Amino acid sequence: GQQLNQSPQSMFIQEGEDVSMNCTSSSIFNTWLWYKQDPGEGPVLLIALYKAGELTSNGRLTAQFGITRKDSFLNISASIPSDVGIYFCAGPLPNFGNEKLTFGTGTRLTIIP
């Protein structure tokens, strides 16, 4: 099936460091989404990207929709303890209907005090 590959799979960083993660696909997306999942909870939308090349910020988070429409990255600046969690990219695959979100494999972020 369709696959969204995220890298890295996991990150261990010091508090205050910047974080960068990305998501790639063999298929074109018209929308790229970044979700965060805290332990024991459901995913929460962080940033939505709707246009190739778009760069969008939400506080310390910045995400970009790749020009090829096959990739996206998420940056977190000056990480804090509450940034811990799993970050998923996601998107609705064209030809699979608007109602189905395909999620990436996830990047687990751990912050070392």
Partner 1 sequence: EPEVTQTPSHQVTQMGQEVILRCVPISNHLYFYWYRQILGQKVEFLVSFYNNEISEKSEIFDDQFSVERPDGSNFTLKIRSTKLEDSAMYFCASSDARGGADTGELFFGEGSRLTVL
Q: Which residues bind partner 1 (CB under 8 A)?
A: 1, 30-31, 33, 35, 37, 40-45, 48, 50, 88, 90, 92, 96-106
Q: Is 5 exposed, middle or buried (0-12, 13-18, 19+ CB in 10 A)?
A: middle
CB closer to partner 1, 87 vs 111: 87
Residue in 54, 59, 106 with CA at minimum distance from that of residue 82: 59
CB closer to partner 1, 44 vs 67: 44
CB closer to partner 1, 18 vs 51: 51
Minimum gap (Å) between residue 101 Cβ and partner 1: 5
| Residue 92 preceded by cis peptide, ω within 30 | no
Minimum gap (Å) between residue 72 Cβ and partner 1: 12
